[in-house]
Structure 1
Amino acid sequence: VVRCPRCGYDEVYYWEVQTRAADEPTTRFFKCARCGYVWREYE
């Protein structure tokens, strides 16, 4: 379960974007359904 680091809500949306070189993993962006906070995680 992914929780928002700002408000702790556990309903988040995510999408993946290739932000670096094609041979590197994608970056996953998350957005909280409650407060709208956006953060990212690298694979």
Structure 2
Amino acid sequence: WECPVATNDRELRKRLRNLGVPVIFLRQRHRLELEGAV
């Protein structure tokens, strides 16, 4: 995959991670967190 996806949707994040797509999401309203390798 070329680029990460930013979303707060839990189900979408889970599906993307299962496909190996890096995911960026908001944590505690102040921090961005990255799951996966970019």
| TM, length-normalised to structure 2 | 0.31
Question: In proportion to residue count, which structure has more strand?
Answer: 1
Q: Choose between structure 1 and 2: higher helix proportion.
A: 2
- Of the two, which has the highest radius of gyration? 1
Whose relative contact order is higher, 1 or 2, with alpha carbons under 8 Å and at least 6 apart? 2
TM-score by length of 1: 0.30
